[in-house]
Amino acid sequence: MEGEVETFDGIIVVGAGLVGALAALTLKQRGFNVKVFEGRKDWRIAAESALVSEEIAEDKVKNAVKRSINLALSVRGQEALKNVGLLEMAMKDTVPMRCRAIHSHRSADIQPDMFQPYDETNPKNFINSISREKLNGLLLQACEAAGIVFCFRHKLMNIDKDGIAHFTRKLCKKNLSQTYNDHGEGEVRIKATLVLGCDGAYSTTREALARVTSLDFER
């Protein structure tokens, strides 16, 4: 119930992005109970609603899907996807980038002066361009198929000294002055076996950890 502390015999993953979804799926496949908490709305639902509605302008359709440049999927990234059984599906949506195009600043010609391979010893090692949205969607779908519970619109406020994670369902409005970590009591409070912070830059999980232990890091 809201206001009470829920005990969860498992791992809470904070953040449903690429890292959070991959971590959650990896842990689930290894037998752990996993819940994922994400502060934003489920962008997949917003995107689908925008695409089927003729009343929504094209720029709002683009905003509904997380806009980002494509990712460069390296050999290490491919290995991580292989470990959770998603490599073959992900590679169907990739475009190979076998080398860098090197341009001279002295040349007015738009054509590159040379091509530099990403791995000079093994030509099979090259990066692949893939849509961030497609890869994130693939990971989320696999997580849900594995039985992982997602709690969207649950923003982590803080983790107190007793290890209780405090979440709020109130989405932050734009153009309001606020700090990125609120030390107040959340509407949803959970005491889990482990909290895994995958909440990116300005991580609330990391800030909470820094308040209770000596921590040295660089952003």
Q: At what angle are helices 132-145 and 43-52 packed, to 10 degrees?
A: 110
Asked if residue 94 has pLDDT above 90, the reply is yes
Q: Are 57 and 165 in contact (CB under 8 A)?
A: no
Q: pLDDT tier at 148 (50, 70, 90 boundaries)? A: very high
Confidence (pLDDT) at 147:
97
Asked whether the whole model's pTM tops 0.75, one would answer yes
Chain mean pLDDT for the chain? 84
Mean pLDDT along residues 4-11: 95
Asked if residue 86 has pLDDT above 60, the reply is yes
Classified as helix, coil or strand, 34 is strand
Instruction: Name the strand (E) or helix (H) holding 73.
Output: strand 71-73
Tokens of 186: 């959340």
DSSP secondary structure letter of residue 28: H
Confidence (pLDDT) at 153:
94
The pLDDT tens digits of the residues spanning 35-75 come to 999 999 998 886 665 555 544 454 554 454 455 678 999 88
Instruction: Name the strand (E) or helix (H) holding 24.
Output: helix 18-29
Q: HEC string of 141-165?
A: HHHHHCCCEEECCCEEEEECCCCEE
